[in-house]
Every structure is written in C-alpha cells, then in structure tokens.
Structure 1
Amino acid sequence: MRPMNTKRVHPKLSPIARVLGLSLGWLLASMPALAQDDRDAAVRAEFMQQIDALDAMPSPQAGSATGVASEALRQYVLYPYLEAQRLRAPLRFGLPADDAAIAALLLRDGDAPSARDLRRDWLRDLARRRSSALFLQHYSEPRADAGLRCERLNALFATQAAGTPDEPLRKAVLDVWMTGAQLPDACVAAFDQARTRGWLTPTLNQQRARLALEAGNADLAEFLLRSVPADAAPTLRAWAALLRNPERELDALTAAGPAALAAQAPEALAAVISKLGRRDPAGTATRLDRLVAACGTPCPLASPATPGELRREVALGAAWSRLPITVAAFKQVDEAVVDERAHEWRVRAALWAGDWTLAQRWLAAMPPALAEQPRWRYWRARAEARQDAGNALSRSLYQALAAENGFYSVLAAHQLGQPYAPTPIAAARDATLQQQLASRPGMQRARELWRAGRNAWSSLEWGEELKSLSRDELIQAARLAQTWGAQAQTVTAASKAQVFDDFELLYPRPFERDVDAAARLSGVPSNWIYAVMRQESLYDPRARSRADALGLLQMLLGTARDTARRQQQPLPGADDLFDPSINTRLGALHLRELLQRYDQRFVLVLGAYNAGPKPVARWQPSAAALDADVWIENVPYNETRSYIQRVIWHSVVFGWRGDGQPQRAGALLKPITPAAVASGADAR
C-alpha cells in the first residue's frame, strides 16, 4: 500500500503540475477507460497540462510556464477554454487585461460556457477601471449578478449624454433597487445619484420596505423607513418592531386587545408566529392561546393570520420538533385551513404518537391527488393493517405498491414478508441518433471536458445542449453520456426525459474492484457503499462539495484523517481522497464506525451522514422503540428524509443488480430505539 501524504511528489510531474499537486497520469487513469484508437488522448493531455498550469500559476511571472500550444491543441475542441483562461490569468493578479483580445474572443464566442468566467471577471475589472463604454458594450444581463447589475447602472450614469431622457435610466435603477434583499456596495453610488435626482421617493421607500419585511429583513426596512415621515407607514414600523422583538411585541399586542391586533399587518403576525413556532413550539402555543383569547369573538385577524392559520403554523413547528403536544395542536386546527403541509404532517404526528386510528382518519381526509401518492398509499395500508392484521384492503394496497418501483415499494414488500425485485423498464436505444448527437460540437466539448477532469464545465456544456433536445433525443443523450462514464450527465438527461427505471442505464457499478476491497475490509455490504456513492457524488471521483467534502463518498479531509488514525490506515492528503481506492476504503471504514455508533441502524447512519449527528440525536424517540419507516417519515428535514429514502432504494437496486435475486430489506429497516441514537463528530 503506497503511503499517503500531502507532500507526495509524482515523478512525472512538470514543475507547474507539482505546484498543483496533481499527477496527470493519475488523472487519466481515474477516468473511464478510453478506446484504444482515441485520437484525442495526446492533445487532451496537452490541454490538461496547460490548463492545470494556469490554475496553479503562483505569480504573474510564471505565466510563460503554461507553454506554447501545438497546432493540434489550437485545433482541439476545447482550445477556446484554454484561450479564455489565459486571458483571465492577469486579472487574478490585478495586472492590465488585454482588452482588445478579450473583446475579440467574446464577440467570437458570445455566451458560450467557455467565455462566461472570463466575461464576468473582465466586466468587474472594467468597472474597477471605470471603462464604462467598454463595460456596457460587453455586459450580459442573463449572466449578471447583483454587483454587475449595479456596475451597469454606474456605467449608464457615467455615459449618459446631456439632454437624453432620464426615464430609461430611472427604470433601470428601479428594476435593480426594488427588492427585499440587501444589495452589494457596488450599488451605493448609483442609488445616491438616483436619490439626488429625486427618483427614490418616500412612497417607493415604503414599497421597498414592505418587500424587505416580507423577506424578514428588518434592518433594511428600518433603514428605508428613515427617509419616510415619522408619522407615515405605522403598519410597516410595527411590522419591523415585531420582527426585531417578536416575543415582547406579541405580548404587547395581546395586552392591547382586538383593535391593536387588527391594526397589525396579518403577514407580519403570520411570519412571526411561524418563525417562533419553529424555534419554540411549546412556548409559542401558550403565547398564541393568550393572543387568540385577547382577540375576542369574532377575532378580527385577517388571512394569512386568522387564529386557525396561526394554530396550523404552531402545530407544524411542534411536529418538526416531535413534541407531545403535536397531535393535540393539530386537532385545534380548523379543517378549512389544513393545507398540504398540514395534511402530511398531522398524519406523521399521529404515526409518531402511535395513534393509528387517528392516522387512518386523517389519511382519509387527504385530497385525492395527495392520497394517491405512493407515500400515502403505503401509510393507508399500514394503518389498515394495524386495525386488522388480516385486512384484505391493506394486503391489496401492499401488493399493488410492491409491483412498482421506489422506496415505498420496498417497504410494502417488507410488510408482506416478501423479498423485493425492481421492475426494469429499458429506455429505447437508437445508435443512429446517438451518433448524430455525438457529432454536435457542444456534445463533443462536454465529453472532452469530462475526460479532462473538468466536470463543472462539462455540466455547463451538457446543460446547454439539453435545452433544445426532444424527449427521444434526451434518452439517447443519456445513453451517449453513459458510454463516457459521465454518470452525472447520464442522470441529468434521463431525469429530464422522465426515465427513472432503466437500471442498467442508471445504476452502473464502476470502481468495482475498489468497492469490493473496501467492503471486505470494512464488512459494510458493497451495495450500501455503492448506494451512498451514487447519492453523494454520482460516481465522480473528482467531486468536491461547497463544504469541501471530497471524492466518491464525499469525505471531509478531517473526518478521513481521523478515520485513518483509528483504523490504522495511512493518513490521506486532500488529493488522496480523489483516488477511488483510497476514498472507498476510508469511506467504508467510516460507515462501519457509524454503524457501530448507531447500533447497526443504517437509517440513522444515513441521517447522520447527511445532516450530522446532532440533528439525529434530537430526532430520537424518547422512550419506546419506533419502526424504522415511522422514524424516517418523521425526519423534519425534507432533504435528509429524501436522502435516506433514496439511499435505501439505491441499496436494494444495487443488491438486486449484484446478484440478480430479490432483496430483503430487514437489515436496512431495524427498529429505532433511544439507545441506538448517539452524538459525535461530523458524520462526513
């Protein structure tokens, strides 16, 4: 086993590549196998070396180290990316940009993905240099962030000719200014000029203050209201005070009585009760009881802050915290204000409380479109079975679900005591259409960028290509990406074509030798490792999250190093986690540690892997054990609940693909006991 450390030197690296800490040979080896007659391999390697050198350039003086492009590279489909990155390089060091060359490239390439980073950085540089005319000539609204939109306003003010009408410029200012969000400092100069010209009137300030309050931005609202007469906009000022000190202001309104409550903006009351209901559901329920009592009969509060609507928000907050008051809180909610969230969460609350009769009644009250979702068909079957173990309706519901594909189909088969096998539905194959798609320049760029290890750029090119494709073309695009081993692109195209059940297409088993070795070492089933890998990185060994989770199993470097120490493995550096063999090994060992921590409850491992151990500890049952399906259904984070369900589904599909046999889900669905929940360090 080769040693791993952050200072590892690869013998074949160029000096610039050593700065980057990457091995070009390793990068190529980590990609899907290329055909033996791959004529682009050499020029791709040259492109990768030069683009990596630009990324790693430590100083402007090192610019010459990127080398001179060969004729083959200049003809290469990715050469525009190299051109754009070379022109961007001086901007990183505050050096003068080659304005003429950049302008020519942007005129030639337009809004191509290869030019977008260059255009953004150059526009920022032009704004800094106050090159207003050139800025306006190359400004692109669809790609502009708030800062560039404001720099455009500054340029328009700077270039406005004497005697030209103000209205277009005033409208442009208001289009940017009229938002509830805080805007960047680049906007200050333009807005100051607009105030000088009298465009930002007290009435407009009030309108924007309302937008800010609706966005929960009390600071911005109070700033805007400073320019409004002191006796104007009392409702907005009260709204800001309510956001600033919600408990104190609610108590004051309760003491003041019905008239004061009726004078408050209903949106303000709704927002504050909803916010407090998430933070302190029990305390907010008590406070709301006092408020409603003080409001009189009938209570003058208007929607969205009628007593029923406010009680609904408090009940939802209690459900998300799994409080004992939750079921009683939902019983207080008028049926007329039960929206989709309340329909779902009051059933979940009844399941958590073990009140199957109430769950059955609330399931029956769901709108038909909601009730027919697999989720609620399953829970209807569960409720029916709890009322009568031999219930024919529950069995027929389970059987219908078990004949479908998805998480709730796995659960239905488990309730029937049967193994589950997915039903594959193969998407069409059309080699001719694939060949036509492969000849498109955008597809060629996406493929080459993937092979060159530039998946973010590849995804941009891919997304642009997919915009114009028919469903049949999307399916063949997915099959085309599959031949590259670009699973993210495969899934993107297949999802857009509504193809979800072609398991050969969507559930490959790459890195099989590495995964099998990791499974043997850790004792974690290979299909569980694959399931986490698919959900975390879509098989991309180069994946990096915003939180700096790395590689196939998206491990944080600190977690990987701690795992390695405990498991007597070589300590990895960040680059090592892009190596599939290292990432899968340490990731599987980390999964084993989590399984030990959570008493072999895989669903808790998944909850901790996605949301962290602290939320999972908060979500534990207080006394009695809970069925795993009930616990999963009550996970309050939508993302984490979906994550757990998807990984369990992936695990079953991978198990079935691995041995061709129907799968039993019992090991995935062990009951959740209070002792099974632990706290600890970040699960990544």
Structure 2
Amino acid sequence: MPFYHCKSPNLIAALLVSLLAFLLTPVAAQSKESKLTVEQQAYIDAYEAIKRNDRQSIAKYKKQLKNYILYPYVLYHDYRVNIAHTPPRVIRHFITSNPDLYLSEKLRTHWLKHLAKKEHWKTYLANYKAQKSTSLQCHYFTAAFKHGSEKLKSEAIKQAQSVWQSLSSTPKACAPVERYLRNHKQFTAAMVWKRITLLIHKKRFKQAEALSKDLSTKDRKAVAHWIKIVKNPQLASQPIREISGVVRKEAFMQATRYLASSNPTLAKQSLDRFAEQYGLNRAQYHDLERRIALRSAYRYKDEAKSLLLDVNKNGSRTEETLRWQAQIAIRESKWIDLLDTIDMMPKTEQNDRQWQYWKARALEARGDKATAKKIYSRLATKRNYYGFLSADRIGTDYKFNPKPTKKTDPKALLKKYPSLQRIKELIAIDWIRTAQVEWYHFLPKANANELGSIAVLADQWKQYPHAIRSLALAKEWDQVDLRFPTPHKTPVMQNAEKNEIEAAWIYGIIRRESAFNPTIRSSAGAVGLMQIMPKTAKYIGKQIGVKNTSVHALTEAKNNIQLGSAYMRYLSDKYKGNKVLATAAYNAGPHRVRQWTENLPEIEADQWVDAIPFTETRNYVKAVMEYTTVFNSLLHGKYNRLSDNMPRIGNKKLAQK
C-alpha cells in the first residue's frame, strides 16, 4: 500500500508528547484586539517586547501587569530569554515564590543548563533538584566531584555508577563523569559487564563491542560470541561451548527469546534441552516458557494452543497467557475450552464484563440459554460495548444511563484555583497550547469532589479534552453529554454526507483518537483531531483534490475532518462497508487487517474483534463501536444496533470445510 496509518498506543502519552513538543511556544493570538482586555493586550505586548529584549518596554509592562494573573509568565519568559543576565537571587526568588507553578521547575531546568555550560559548578550544586535529564544528572555529579563534601562525593559516585551502567549511549555531559570514575578507581569490570548486557539486549552491538575493550581478551571474545549467538538465534538450539557461566546463560536466554518469534517449537525444545545444563532457575525457565507460548500466540501458530496450555497448567500462568488461551478458544469457537479457561482466571477477572460476556456466549453455544440470558440481562443494563452486544443477544433496548449535568459555580472555582484563572486568560489570548500544559499540571492536583464541576467549566470554555479527562479522573462515567461532545458539527455533518458515512462514526473516531484536541501530534507522527498520518493525508489528498496536506494544515479542524473522513470512506469501500474491519484498519493499517483475515474461516464479528492480536487495536475497535452508538443516540435520538454493523468476518468456504 502507498501509505500506512498507525498511532501511539496511549492517548494520554500522545497528548503529553504533543504538549511537550510545543511547551511554552505560544500560538500567536488570533483574537481581535477589540475583544482583549487592557491587561490581556499588555501581556501580549510584553511577550513581544521580551523577544526583542526591549528592556524599557519590559520594565513598563512588568509594572503594569504586577497584579495580573499571568504576571509569573511575564517574569518566566523574561528570565528564560535573558538567563545569562538574570541574577541568581532573582531566579531563586521566582522558584521559591511559585512552588505550585510548573514554570518554576522549567526555569530551574533552563538555569541548570546555563550554569553547566558556564561551568558555574558551585551555583549548580546549590540549586540542583533531581532531574530526568541524564545530562543534567551528569552535570550534578561533576559539580559534586568538584565542590561537594566527602559525603556528597561518595553518594554522587554511587549514583554516577548506577547511571553510567544504565546508558545505551554516553551523552557529552557524562564523559567527564566516566573519566572521574576511571581516575579514582571507581570504574569496575562488573559495571562494564552490566552495561554491555544492557546494550546487547537493546541490540546496540557496535557500542557493546566498543565497550568490551575495557575487558580482558578472554572476556572480549565472550562478548563477541554472545553477539554472534544473538544475531543468529538458531545457534541457541545447539550446545554453546565457546562461552560458559553467566555469559552463556544470558546469551542462551536472549537468543531463545528471539528464536521464539520465528520458530517457537524449536525454542521450546532448546529450552527443555539446555535449561538445567546452563543453570536457569525455575523463574527464568517459566519466564522463557511464557514468552515462547505468547510469541506463538501472537501469530496464532498451530502450536500456540498446546504451548499456552502447558504454561497455564503448570502454575506459571499470568493474566496475559490466560487471555491468549481464551482468545484462541474464541477465535476457533471452542466453547468448552473457553469455559475451562475462564474458570482458571482469578475471580476478579472472571467477573470482568468481557469474560462475563464470553462466558454467556459459550454457555449459549453449549445449549444453556437460560443461564446465558441471565448474564446478558445483567450486562445489558450498562452503556458499553459488551452491554450493547448483550442487549443484541436478548433483543432488549440499549441503556445509556445519562446523568444530568452538574450545576457549577464558576466564580467559586476560579477564586479557589489560580490555575483556572491562568487557563481562562490563556484561552482568551489564544495561547491554547500553553493552556493545555496548565490543564495537565492542574487536574491531578484538583479536589476529586470538584472534578465534575471543573469538567462543566472546561466544556463551557470548549476545552473538551480536559472536560473528558476531568471526568475520567473523577470516574464519573455517566456524564454522557460532557464525555461525548459534538463540536465541529458543520464539517463533520458535511463530510459525512459527502462521503456517505455516519457522522456518529466520524465522531467515534475523533473521540478515540484525540478526545477533540485539534493540535495533538502523536509520537508516531499522527496529527490532529482524527490523528492523520502525513503520508496518509498526502495520498488521500491526491484522491480528493486537496493539495495542502502539511502538518500545519492537519491541525486545522476543517482540513483534518475532510481528510480523515475521506480516508474512512476509502476504508469503508475497501472492506465493502464492513465498519469493524475499516475501524481496525484505521488504527493498525490495512496490511495488518489483511494478515488477520486471510485464511481465516468465517466467524462472528464479536469473535474476530476479541481475537485481534494487537491489544491497542482490539480495544480501539471496541471503543469506536461503542462511541459510535452513543453519538448516534446524541445526534439523532436513536441508534443503530451493533449487530447491524458487525457482519461475519472471514472466508465462508473455509468455514464450510
């Protein structure tokens, strides 16, 4: 195919990647000047003055904005831009005066980078606070070695040794730390071996070979042979004589994991043959046994069923191995096997709606329709994918169970939470990305009992992703109107009509992909409301005559919806209107769906969905089908049943064989 469409596995993670990428890079205000207050316009002018380093104007605006809620932002940007000329006491005062403001730690990080660059180690040491950046950690070690007490030096040496061993590459800042450890005889062979082990496990073979120069000739040869085995995992199926001890065991275990992907049967035979000889303990054996079984299951290989059964019966089972054994039974319509597998699960898992539904399906298939109906009836009282499926099985109406929107006092919330005051102002001046960062730092700290009211406020401000997140944090799942908003209705409805697809389906995709954040960009590169991959946008754009498919264009809601809905139509046509397959392809790519359907005997669509190998895609399809049903109810006051949108999947001729 000329394109590939895939997103990152976690929406929250994708949101954070997007926000950090744009952190404190404000969008120029789009509001008309006449709509801005005097303070809002002064703030924008102050920011422009800071960029020009117009000191006279900056001083004037600071005086004017001293009592303005965004005044800390003025100070932050001024100190950040002019970090070299800002006195340390001023920076320290900002940090200590704004302990709850995320800008404080951002400024500290920026300052530490400057201090390290100038080698102001005493000041660095005095103002350091634990950092995620490996480079900043190494600068701290350097500062401690140069100016710390003997106790601090000793602690820094231990920390530096630990950090060095965990590096897959050595940042420039860490080179002096390595030299110090060497010169002070704190650089050991055990450290080198630990890091080499890490590098080989990450397939950084060249770095591992380079680092092995710190070892003896014999050990260098051992490293080289270890790498040879890992590069050619079938070598693990034969006796390993060139190396011994811990290195041989590590090489064997790693190679066996890789061999499991291509030849799980041979991997299991090798494990059983050499585990005792190479000194694997019980936990290591069972871990590899599970990995081999799961690798086989991911591809639905013929031997997967027996491998998983061995694992799940010998006491080393996990939630994942049981789930895969159940998925195989679902895919193959082995209803007795499925019931047996569910019985092996912990009670908490057995009571999960997924396994309750499949228990009912299995009982129904085995003829116990009365018990199955009781389970379906209970599940059908809930608004979710399995509740809707259950309602279809017994022919009852769907239950949406909405709760009325909470009444809220915006003034009281704004008075209590300065973060909300800042967010309101940032929205007013159209610094939306910065407002999003404020939201993400604020919501986890807000009073749990007020999150519902905060969600109402966020919705009123058209901050839909944060209304949704507030309710998720509060676990208020029945605020249906707030959790399923319908913004951008004009382009959604127009493109739905143009492409002859359901508007509710478009909304279902948007809700799952971005939670209505138009500027989000995932770590995989997907952009905007419908998380379009640029390559996909370019391809679809050519088909429908849209030339501007740039990343910037994809952050515009109208453009994103136009291209995303056209792609949905393309997939709908490709799969002859099968919404389940089209939805799966939207997430994982058409080539994956082809792999999951070719040579597959025809099965019910609910079986196919729960047998999708990718957890992300499996959950994605369920969510979109559920959300589409909810949006249909909200948009039209009626809904289409899932059973009407989930035809059987697979090859009918194979099923007859």
TM-score by length of 2: 0.83
Which aligned pairs between 1:201-350 and structure 2 lie closer than 5 A? 201-206=188-193, 226-227=213-214, 242-253=229-240, 269-277=252-260, 279-280=261-262, 283-293=263-273, 301-306=280-285, 310-333=288-311, 334-350=313-329
1:199 pairs with 186, 193, 198, which one? Answer: 186
Could you say what secondary structure the match of 2:302 adopts?
coil
Task: Name the counterpart of 2:632.
Answer: 655
Work out the number of aligned pairs and report it.
626
CA-to-partner distance for each residue in 1:560-619, whole Å, 9 max, x for gaps?
A: 343233223464554433332332223212211121122222222222222223322222
Task: Name the counterpart of 2:155.
Answer: 168
Give the Cα separation in 1 of the matches to 2:390 and 2:649: 19
Amino acid at match of 1:497: A
Could you say what secondary structure the match of 1:543 adopts?
coil
CA-to-partner distance for each residue in 1:237-267, whole Å, 9 max, x for gaps?
A: 98666545432234234xx79xx99977767
Task: Name the counterpart of 1:77.
Answer: 69
Q: Which runs of 5+ in 2 are unaligned?
A: 1-24, 653-657
Which aligned pairs between 1:35-184 and structure 2 lie closer than 5 A? 41=37, 43-44=39-40, 47=43, 69=61, 73=65, 75-89=67-81, 98-100=86-88, 102=91, 105-110=94-99, 112-141=101-130, 143-160=131-148, 166-179=153-166, 181-184=168-171
Could you say what secondary structure the match of 2:315 adopts?
helix
CA-to-partner distance for each residue in 1:112-168, whole Å, 9 max, x for gaps?
A: 223444433332232122122232233221x4411111111122223347x887423
Amino acid at match of 2:70: L
Against the structure 1 CA distance between its residues 378 and 262, is the aligned structure 2 distance closer, same or farther, given a 3 Å change threshold?
Answer: farther
Check the 8 A contact 1:419/1:662 in 2, yes or no: no
Against the structure 1 CA distance between its residues 586 and 438, is the aligned structure 2 distance closer, same or farther, given a 3 Å change threshold?
Answer: farther
Greater mean alpha carbon deviation, residues 188-197 or residues 613-622:
613-622
Which aligned pairs between 1:180-579 and structure 2 lie closer than 5 A? 181-206=168-193, 226-227=213-214, 242-253=229-240, 269-277=252-260, 279-280=261-262, 283-293=263-273, 301-306=280-285, 310-333=288-311, 334-388=313-367, 391-426=369-404, 429=406, 431-432=408-409, 435-436=412-413, 438-569=415-546, 571-579=548-556
CA-to-partner distance for each residue in 1:614-651, whole Å, 9 max, x for gaps?
A: 32222224142232222221222222222222111111
Give the Cα separation in 2 of the matches to 1:403 and 1:109: 48
CA-to-partner distance for each residue in 1:325-353, whole Å, 9 max, x for gaps?
A: 32233344344222211110011012222
Shift of 1:374: 0.8
Give the Cα separation in 1 of the matches to 2:619 and 2:32: 34
Against the structure 1 CA distance between its residues 445 and 579, is the aligned structure 2 distance closer, same or farther, given a 3 Å change threshold?
Answer: same
Amino acid at match of 1:526: A
Could you say what secondary structure the match of 1:252 adopts?
coil
Shift of 1:419: 4.6
Give the Cα separation in 1 of the matches to 2:497 and 2:381: 33
Check the 8 A contact 1:363/1:371 in 2, yes or no: yes
Give the Cα separation in 1 of the matches to 2:64 and 2:490: 36
CA-to-partner distance for each residue in 1:264-291, whole Å, 9 max, x for gaps?
A: 77676555433432x31xx231342255
Give the Cα separation in 1 of the matches to 2:46 and 2:109: 22
Check the 8 A contact 2:27/2:431 in 1, yes or no: no
Could you say what secondary structure the match of 1:348 adopts?
helix
Could you say what secondary structure the match of 1:336 adopts?
coil
The answer to whether 1:608 aligns with 2:585 is: yes
Against the structure 1 CA distance between its residues 551 and 166, is the aligned structure 2 distance closer, same or farther, given a 3 Å change threshold?
Answer: closer
Check the 8 A contact 1:266/1:304 in 2, yes or no: no
Against the structure 1 CA distance between its residues 413 and 28, is the aligned structure 2 distance closer, same or farther, given a 3 Å change threshold?
Answer: farther
Could you say what secondary structure the match of 2:597 adopts?
coil
Shift of 1:185: 2.9
Shift of 1:222: 6.0
Give the Cα separation in 1 of the matches to 2:372 and 2:249: 44
Amino acid at match of 1:370: E
CA-to-partner distance for each residue in 1:10-32, whole Å, 9 max, x for gaps?
A: xxxxxxxxxx998743x689xxx
Shift of 1:51: 5.1
Give the Cα separation in 2 of the matches to 1:595 and 1:492: 30
The answer to whether 1:641 aligns with 2:618 is: yes
Amino acid at match of 1:84: Y
CA-to-partner distance for each residue in 1:444-492, whole Å, 9 max, x for gaps?
A: 1233334544445334433443344442123322233222221222222
Task: Name the counterpart of 1:670.
Answer: 647
Check the 8 A contact 1:292/1:299 in 2, yes or no: no
Give the Cα separation in 2 of the matches to 1:266 and 1:405: 51
Amino acid at match of 1:190: V
Against the structure 1 CA distance between its residues 164 and 532, is the aligned structure 2 distance closer, same or farther, given a 3 Å change threshold?
Answer: closer
TM-score by length of 1: 0.80
Shift of 1:68: 7.3
Check the 8 A contact 1:180/1:217 in 2, yes or no: no
Amino acid at match of 2:122: A
Against the structure 1 CA distance between its residues 274 and 299, is the aligned structure 2 distance closer, same or farther, given a 3 Å change threshold?
Answer: closer
Give the Cα separation in 1 of the matches to 2:613 and 2:417: 45
Could you say what secondary structure the match of 2:283 adopts?
coil
Against the structure 1 CA distance between its residues 615 and 53, is the aligned structure 2 distance closer, same or farther, given a 3 Å change threshold?
Answer: farther
Check the 8 A contact 1:401/1:412 in 2, yes or no: yes
Amino acid at match of 1:133: K
Check the 8 A contact 2:27/2:430 in 1, yes or no: no
Q: Which runs of 5+ in 1 are unaligned?
A: 1-19, 30-37, 676-684
Relative contact order (C-alpha < 8 Å, sep 6+): which is higher? 2
User: What is the root-mean-square deviation in Å for CA atoms of aligned residues?
Assistant: 4.0
Against the structure 1 CA distance between its residues 201 and 194, is the aligned structure 2 distance closer, same or farther, given a 3 Å change threshold?
Answer: same
Amino acid at match of 2:113: R
